[in-house]
Amino acid sequence: MLRGGTSRGLYFRAEDLPADRAQRDRALLQIMGSPHVLQVNGLGGGNSLTSKVAIISRSSRPGCDVDYLFAQIGIEQAIVDTRPNCGNLLSGVGPYAIEEGLVAAQDGVTRVRIYNVNARTVVEAEVLTPRGRPAYEGEAHIDGVPGTGSPIILNFLDVQGGSTGTLFPTGSRIDMIDGLAATCIDVAIPVMILDARALGLSGNETPDILDANKDLMDRIETLRLEAGRRMGLGDVTHSVVPKPILASPAGPQAIQSRYLTPHRCHKAHAVTGAISLASCFAIPGTVPYGMCEDHQDDSRVCVLHPAGHIDIALDIRQEGEAIRIARAGVIRTARKIMKGMVFIHDTHTLDAYFPEPC
């Protein structure tokens, strides 16, 4: 179990889980204690930010060290969703791969090339490894996490279109959905970006206030379902993508965000969502681009969220009409919390582990 960025999750080696997907998903639901609002019968924390799994394996892809498959585990529903991506949990993949011997540590800094299976993109993680061991203690602070930790630099490479195959999967930079202007974009994770003011909001509401507004959340869900259909994702009723983002102005090289997960507001912000919003902010003709008049230098965009902010370093290249998000960099921290054995109780799942009597 590691805290990665502003999330917490369980990290498994792929070979330690059932090879059959249905058996694997059944095991993960039991391990987390889902479906149950408190996940009291498992290791989940009753919150989408603590009901996450990272599945790691050696990579056979050229230039990559490990493969990372992310799974969002439903809390009150028996759902294991591998369609989204999690940049926060990604923060722990480098240290985990080094600890597990999947990547040889260097003395000083170890670079881990990670193939993100969900988004079909490559991320390079720079992990401090003094004396050949991952460092977790340090002076780096990220908003939404108490204390400080060792900085982990994540460079997302060519992150456009990983889930849908294109940067703007609807074919437009702005779509009108139920009378509201929305930008549907696929950078690191598919998102639907709305102007918070168009929904009668200021944009700086607390997550609790947004969560308590059932009419608002129901309307956003209706918009999200239509956005998912237009983005080619089909019926997303039982999927957490696309994620809704409520954006509002925050000044030059900055944008304020309320990121939904999708049925509740994130207490801080997902890294992948911040990358999507920051990239969209820097591309003309989109909803967030129009919230700022000064776009002289969008190589670094500050995304403000309920717990503080995330700075995203961008390298966006345009060749004719084609736009390439060559690199999006962010600093995160991680902490190893525990390592051990978790028990499952379903005898059908147990048979996958112990086919012979024991």
> What are the CA-CA distances from residue 59 to residues 2, 18, 66 (Å)?
21, 18, 4
CB 192 within 8 A of CB 184: yes
* Residue closest to 327 by CA, chosen among 300, 290, 302: 300
- Identify the CATH number of the domain defined by range 2-151+335-353: 3.10.310.10
Q: What global pTM score does this model have?
A: 0.84
State the pLDDT confidence band at 147, using cuts at 50, 70 and 90: very high
DSSP-assigned states of every residue in 316-345: EEEETTEEEEEEEEEEE-EEE---------
Would you give the DSSP letter of residue 105? P
pLDDT in tens, 93-136: 999 999 999 999 999 999 999 999 998 999 999 999 999 999 99
Radius of gyration of the chain (CA): 20
Is 1.10.3720.10 the CATH number for 175-332?
no
pLDDT in tens, 201-256: 999 999 999 999 999 999 999 999 999 999 999 999 999 999 999 999 998 999 99
Interior CA angle at 254 toward 252 and 258, to 5°? Answer: 145
Mean pLDDT of 2-16: 97
How does the average pLDDT of the chain come out, rounded?
Answer: 94
Share above pLDDT 90 across residues of the chain, in percent, rounded to a whole number? 92
Q: Left, alpha or beta for 188 (phi > 0: left; psi -120 to 50: alpha)?
A: left
State the pLDDT confidence band at 355, using cuts at 50, 70 and 90: very low
Please indicate whether the domains covering 2-151+335-353 and 175-332 agree at the CATH topology level.
yes
Q: How is the chain split into domains, by residue range?
A: 2-151+335-353, 175-332
Mean pLDDT of 273-300: 95
